[in-house]
Structures are given as structure tokens and as C-alpha cells.
Amino acid sequence: MQSMPDVSPTKWHLAHTTWFFETFVLKKWLTAYRAEIPQYAYLFNSYYNAAGDMHRRDLRGLISRPTVDETHRYRSSVDSDIDDLISRADEKLFAEIEPIVILGIHHEQQHQELLITDIKHVFAQNPLYPVFHERQPSQDYGSASKIDTVSATTRPMNFIDFEETTAEIGHDSSGFSYDNESPRHRALVPAFSLARRPVTNGEYVKFIDADGYARSEFWLSLGWMTVNEQRWQAPLYWIKRDGAWWNFTLSGLRPVDESEPVTHISYFEADAFANWSGARLPTEFEWERAAKIDIDGNFVETETFHPQAGRSSGQDRHLAQMFGDVWEWTRSAYSPYPGYRAAPGALGEYNGKFMCNQYVLRGGSCATSCSHIRRTYRNFFPPEKRWQFTGIRLARDPS
Ligand SMILES: [Fe+2]
């Protein structure tokens, strides 16, 4: 199913990630390679103009053939050809192939995240609110959660101060990274404060109750237009029943838990909330400078498929939930780092051509693999998009 142009059917994700290996590895290095079904190249190319023509993105839901079984056969066949190629490759050939295979694996991890968020969007259109994954008992805090909720919503948001510094920004070239994380360079990061934890649903409800969605003074011009055109009154997947907020999760429709990080909000909403609360969003440089901590958090491996309430006490002076739970919108436009040049050819289209009209998000979400994220990782989405697990961490200038 395809519930909107940004959402791809599960089957399409399975085929497209396979197409990536077929196109950029098999067709390049297996001289005798002949695609069994050459038309797949057209159906499952996403956006690589240098790799040929492609099917329209908004029509992916109409690809009734190949069937799911045929798609799995396509995957198995390409997988086994890749296996053969790698096992027969000498050292020189392997050195050429390896970076593309690794890129293909990271590409597949990105699509695994989209699989989750796309299934959520599709399920949310069904009034039966299907359950993708039953909630685990560990997610139900029972009466203890009531206490947690109260403390989380009444607890003031602590900020941690950072002094001015010239920070090294970007990947240090140990291990894999995407090209948009390079070149590593120095950036002046003036003194700032960063919120210890993401904004909660409880805090966001206060913004809604303060008529935040109806007060133009908090909104960017484009955001104000969007909020009125789309008639947004709450995050995506929230509905009001008998005066109470509910939200659709991958475990079905549930009352909004005030202690969980707010998610499925656009950049516009994140920015408006920050303005309302007298703060601002961090820059991606502030975020990266602050995130010199172990990568640990609620990632897809926990199989909760939903952001979790913070567990640590209000006295804690350490940054919490920087990684996992929700992607954090930054106020940084997605732009090339100084000296960045996209690689020639189709793979140069991976990131570089999207560096316009999008904002950088950091830290990964409950749908991201733990092995996929990095401190220097730059995700990006247009400011009106809400179907990813996106959230808010506030920043402030020194008072
Ligand atoms: Fe892709």
C-alpha cells in the first residue's frame, strides 16, 4: 500500500534495496551479468538520474506485479550473485567492491527505518487502527507510570551550559560515513545551553492548550501558511476523543502518555514550540559538539517502535536521549560542508542533490538501527514533513 507520495510500499522497499546492489555492484563488476527482468531497473530506481529513467514515486502503490513472492525471489537471486562475486574476488577487486557493498548495507538500513514509518502511516489510515507490534509488558508501567508522568511533566526542563569553542565538525574517517558528513572542518560554536532531554507530550499539550497553533507570532511565515492550509492542531497521528488526546502508535491507538517525547511534528511545529517556550532549536554544530557521549538509547533493536519516557531523575546533569527515541530537528539548513563535492556519477546523487530546502535532524529514532547512527550523522527532511519519528530538543543563548 502507498498512503501518500512520500510513503513507499513494503514490497517496493524490498525490491529497491536489491536494485541498489544489482545496479551498482553486479552490473558494474559482473561482466556477464544479465538482469532476469530488465524492467525492474525502471520500477525500482528511486531517484538516480544517472542510472536511467524511473517510475513515478507517487505511483509506487500501483505496482501490483512483481508479487511479494517474486520480489523475494529477486532478492535471493541478487544476494546469491553478490555472494558469488565477493567469494571469487581477489584482493584488488574486493577493495573496489567493498565500499559499494558497505554503502548498500547502510542504504538498506535507511530503508528498514522507512519500512517502519511507512507501515505506520499506512496503518494510521485504517479506522481499525491495526497493531503492528504488541506492546511489551515492560512498556506498561502501571500505577508507577502515573507518578512518573506527574514528575516528568511538572519537572522543569534543565539546561546544560556549553562554553564557546572551535569545534571539529564532521566525520573523522574512522569507519563508514556518508559523504555529507565530510569534509571534517572547524566551526566556531559560541556559548549556548542545551536542554537535558527532549520535549515531552505533556509540555507539547501545554503549547496546544495555549492556542499555540492559532497564534501567528510563534510561526515562520511558511509554517503559518502550512498550519492553516493543513489545519494542523496537534502532531500527526493525534486525535481527540471526549476531550482527551490519543495517538496512533505501532501498537495501536493509545492515550497520549505525557511523559514520552513528543514526536511526528514538522520543523515548523518544533520551531513554533521553541518560540512559545522562550527558547530556540539548536544548530547542528551545537548538537554535534554536545553529543560527545556514548551512543546508547531506544533504537529499533528494542522493538518498542515508539519513543520512551526518560527514566533518569530531574537532578541529572547529563544529556539524556540524545540518541534514539526521536530525530531532533536542528535549525541548520541542510547544506554542504566547506569543501564538499559530490562524487561523479550516480552515487554522487545519494546526498548532494538534496542540499536545498531541507533541515538537518540528528541522533536517530526508535526506528533507526543502533549500528546505523553516528554522532556526525546528518539526516534531512523538508520542514513540513511529519511522518518520521521527529521531535524537539531546545537550546538557549546565554542569558
Ligand atoms: Fe534508496
pLDDT at 155 over 90: no
Q: How far does CA 221 lie from the centroid of its chain?
A: 25
Q: List CB-based neighbours of ion ligand 1 within 5 Å.
A: 46
- Distance between Cα 73 and ligand 1 center (Å): 19
Angle (CA) 240 362 353, round 5°: 105
- Of residues 1, 12, 132, the one with CA closest to residue 70: 12
- Distance between Cα 45 and ligand 1 center (Å): 8
pLDDT tens figures, 44-87: 999 999 999 999 999 999 999 999 999 999 999 999 999 999 99
pLDDT of residue 314: 54
- Distance between Cα 17 and ligand 1 center (Å): 6
* Res. 144 pLDDT band, cuts 50 70 90: very low
- Distance between Cα 136 and ligand 1 center (Å): 31
Distance between CA atoms of residues 22 and 77, nearest Å: 10
pLDDT at 235 over 70: yes
- Distance between Cα 150 and ligand 1 center (Å): 42
- Distance between Cα 179 and ligand 1 center (Å): 15
- Distance between Cα 260 and ligand 1 center (Å): 30
- Distance between Cα 235 and ligand 1 center (Å): 27
Return the residue matching grid coordinates 538509547: 297
Distance between CA atoms of residues 329 and 363, nearest Å: 9
* Res. 148 pLDDT band, cuts 50 70 90: very low
Query: H helices within the chain, ranges in order?
Result: 10-21, 27-29, 40-44, 68-88, 91-124, 143-154, 201-209, 221-229, 267-276, 284-290
- Distance between Cα 107 and ligand 1 center (Å): 6
Three-state DSSP at 296 gives coil
Q: What is the pTM of this model?
A: 0.95
Residues recorded for the chain: 399
- Residue 395 C-alpha cell reads as 537550546
- Distance between Cα 114 and ligand 1 center (Å): 10
- Distance between Cα 225 and ligand 1 center (Å): 31
| One-letter-per-residue 3-state SS of 113-162 | HHHHHHHHHHHHCCCCCCCCCCCCHHHCCCHHHHHHHHHHHHCCCCEEEE
pLDDT of residue 157: 86
- Distance between Cα 16 and ligand 1 center (Å): 7
* Burial track 361-385 (b if 16+ CB lie within 10 A, e otherwise): bbbbbbbbbbebbbbbbbbbbebbb
